[in-house]
Structure 1
Amino acid sequence: MKLLLRLVISTLAVLVASKLVPGVFIEDTGTAIVVAIVLGILNTFLRPVLQILALPITILTLGLFYFVVNVFIIYLATYLVSGFEIDGFISALFFGLIVSVVSSILGMFLD
């Protein structure tokens, strides 16, 4: 049940971010669900590997390279999901930030 609620929260966060950030296009709600699932899978399995590989650069840039890893994950999701498009780096950056903030705020009510 908690997994389903997390999926709903992630989907709502993706929908909110797509409405707030110019340059982000999501075809419909079904696509938003798929984007939420793909981002969850990529964040679970690929992000830790990328963070370990990018650790020297992240330390050198005082943690700012973490945002580049986040944008790369989002670009990979746009490649994997048809109906989900992002125009540029800044749009992907703000999309990721808004999805994180909205998911965190809505997730507080779950716990």
Structure 2
Amino acid sequence: MKYIVSLLITSVIIFLLGNILPGAHITDYFSAVLVAFVLSILNVLVKPVLAIISIPITILTLGLFMFVINAVIILLAAQLVEGFKVNGFLGALLFSLCLSLVQSVAQNLLDKQEQRR
């Protein structure tokens, strides 16, 4: 159940960012749900492989290279989901940064709400 709630919250965030940010565009909410689902699959399957391959550069950049990996994951998702477009690498990087920031705030709010129960 927690995964479904997280997926729906991420979908709302993706939909809003896709309509607010200049480098990204999403056509409808269903596409946002698909993007959230595809991102979760890519984060499980592709991101660990990219992280292992890029360990040396990640260490040299003190972990900042992970933002590049996240942008690559966003670009892959844009290729896989027809209703989601990102204008180049910088658009994907901006989308990735904003998505990570808003997701962490939303996750903190959910965690605080669960602690109150």
TM over 0.5: yes
Q: Deviations over 1:61-100 (max 9, x none)?
A: 3333222111111111011111111012111111011111
SS of 2:57's equivalent in the other structure is: helix
Question: If you compute each CA radius of gyration, which structure gives the higher value, 1 or 2?
Answer: 2
Which residue identity is paired with 1:35?
V
64-73 or 28-37, larger mean C-alpha shift: 64-73
The answer for the alignment partner of 1:56 in structure 2 is: 56
Runs of at least 5 residues in structure 1 that lack an aligned partner in the other structure: none
For 1:89-104, list aligned pairs within 5 A. 89-104=89-104
Look up the SS of the partner of 2:25 in the other structure: strand
Please, what is the CA RMSD of the aligned residues? Answer: 1.3
Q: Could you tell me which amino acid in structure 2 is paired with residue 71 of structure 1?
A: A
Deviations 1:91-111 (A, max 9, x none): 111101111111111112322
Post-superposition shift, 1:36? 0.5
Identity %: 47
Counterpart secondary structure, 1:25: strand
Size of the alignment, in residue pairs? 111
Higher RCO (CA-CA < 8 Å; seq separation 6+): 1
How far apart in 2 are the matches of 1:100 and 1:13?
10
* Aligned equivalent of 1:73: 73
**For structure 1, which segment, 27-36 or 37-46, has the greater mean C-alpha deviation from structure 2 after superposition?**
37-46
* Cα gap change, 1:90 to 1:110, in 2 (>3 Å): same
TM-score by length of 2: 0.87
Separation of aligned partners in 1, 2:40 and 2:52: 18
Taking the aligned partners of 1:34 and 1:107, their CA distance within structure 2 comes to 20
